[in-house]
């Protein structure tokens, strides 16, 4: 079975609102305009992609860096909706994984997080069944 993209998106620019407001108030200094543009560009160039096999974060403006987590390695999903993000119908999904390079992975400031969480959960279980893998914690 070929890997397919289930969802692709980026964090909301709401994360940069404080910087945008501060730069807007001091725009006459010229430099804040470039700071605001850079913050916008960095967030715009960070893209999450959920496929049938993995979750991928690609980030970087000039050089790209891609971080991947296999779906079957996801142990737990938590949703966080601070008041500020709730005002904009946004939230974050915190994934706890058994991946050594990224034990905690956060998908920040995304819309429709409950649907996205359900999509991830469904495909985590499908992927575990396909690979015949089960998560066991030893304490």
pLDDT on residue 132: 87
Domain annotation for the chain: domains and CATH numbers: 5-131 (2.30.29.30)
pLDDT on residue 128: 92
Q: Residue 72 contacts by C-beta under 8 Å, 6 or more apart in sequence?
A: 124, 127, 128, 131, 133
Q: What are the pLDDT digits (tens) for 19-50?
A: 999 998 997 888 898 999 999 999 999 999 99
Instruction: Provide block-wise average pLDDT over 10 residues at a time, the chain (139 residues).
Output: 92 95 88 93 97 96 96 95 96 94 94 97 94 77
Q: pTM for the complete prediction?
A: 0.89
């Amino acid at each position: 079975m070929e890997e397919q993209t289930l969802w692709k998106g980026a964090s909301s620019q709401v994360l940069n609102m404080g910087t945008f407001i501060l730069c807007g108030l001091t725009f006459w200094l010229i430099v804040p305009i470039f700071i605001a543009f850079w913050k916008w560009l960095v967030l715009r160039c960070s893209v999450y992609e959920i496929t049938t096999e993995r979750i991928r974060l690609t980030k970087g403006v000039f050089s790209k860096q891609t971080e991947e987590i296999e779906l079957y390695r996801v142990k737990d999903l938590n949703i966080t909706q601070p008041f500020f993000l709730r005002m904009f119908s946004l939230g974050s999904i915190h994934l706890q994984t058994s991946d050594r390079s990224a034990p905690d992975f956060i998908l920040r400031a995304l819309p429709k997080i409950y649907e996205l969480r359900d999509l991830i959960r469904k495909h985590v279980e499908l992927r575990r069944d396909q690979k015949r893998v089960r998560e066991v914690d030893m304490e």
